[in-house]
């Protein structure tokens, strides 16, 4: 199986508490869409969030990752995101999108992994 996973980390020193999502790795095929929230923030939406603590479904319906971008550069950031995801056909499947701990971003226009939200639509 050659599945791609997208890695996001919001904290420079993740504390691994259950109250906040600081690090996630999500199958790329769960990607739904990108949205511009403001001139400096974009959101990435994923469908069908995977099971959480203990391996059981928690009722989470989707995951949303917020990325801060250079003002007015959302289109360029979107293009870089798409290119990064599509440029790894023969990789190990691990694709870093935004990693605060190591200051690694797939786009020069991404400045911060601002948040990871697990959304329960029930």
| Residues 25-83 pLDDT 10s | 999 999 999 999 999 999 999 986 555 444 455 555 788 999 999 999 999 999 999 99
For the chain, the domain total comes to: 1
Strand 110-119: give its sheet, edge to edge: 31-38, 41-47, 62-69, 110-119
Query: Which residue range is the domain that position 10 belongs to?
Result: 5-119
Q: Please provide residue 66's backbone torsions phi and psi, each rounded to the nearest 5 degrees.
A: -100, 130
Q: What is the CA radius of gyration of the chain?
A: 14
The percentage of residues in the chain with a pLDDT greater than 90, rounded to a whole number, is: 56
Average pLDDT over residues 85-89: 78
Q: Do 23 and 10 touch, CB atoms closer than 8 A?
A: yes
What does the pLDDT read at residue 54?
45
Confidence band of 93 (pLDDT split at 50, 70, 90): confident
Phi, psi of 54, deg, nearest 5: 80, 0
């Amino acid at each position: 199986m050659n599945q791609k996973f997208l890695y996001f980390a919001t904290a420079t020193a993740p504390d691994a508490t259950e109250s906040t999502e600081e690090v996630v790795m999500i199958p790329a095929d769960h990607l739904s869409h990108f949205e511009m929230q403001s001139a400096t923030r974009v959101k990435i939406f994923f469908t069908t969030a995977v099971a959480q603590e203990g391996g059981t479904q928690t009722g989470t319906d989707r995951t949303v990752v917020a990325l801060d971008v250079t003002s007015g550069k959302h289109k360029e950031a979107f293009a870089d995101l798409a290119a990064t995801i599509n440029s790894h056909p023969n990789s190990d499947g691990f694709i870093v999108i935004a990693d605060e701990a190591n200051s690694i971003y797939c786009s020069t226009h991404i400045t911060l992994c601002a948040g990871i939200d697990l959304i329960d639509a029930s």
